Amino acid sequence: MRNAPLLEFGPREAFFEEYAMNVSDIMRRSFATIRPDAPPLEAADLLLQTNQRGLPVIDREGTLVGVISEGDFPMANSN
């Protein structure tokens, strides 16, 4: 049995339509971030500690420059 994607039509669509939800109603507002010059091990540890699926990468001016996730690490893609 495969896992259905979140965006696949079905019961989820009816739920979101019934409650007239917007992304702002369900998004996370507080999360850990990391700087572009941080070592990869720091990012990996932070992902594990916070149970986030991705870390926004924020430069010194506070600008979003990217996102790093578990799948970006070479070890996460090998068996």
Assign 10 a pLDDT band (cuts: 50, 70, 90).
low
pLDDT of residue 7: 55
Q: Which CATH class is domain 29-77?
A: alpha beta
**Interval 24-59: pLDDT, tens:** 888 888 999 999 999 999 999 999 999 899 999 999
Neighbours of 55 (CB within 10 A): 23
C-beta of residue 31 within 8 angstroms of C-beta of residue 52: yes
In the chain, what are the domain boundaries? Answer: 29-77
69 bridge partner residues: 54
Average pLDDT over residues 6-11: 58
Average pLDDT over residues 51-78: 89
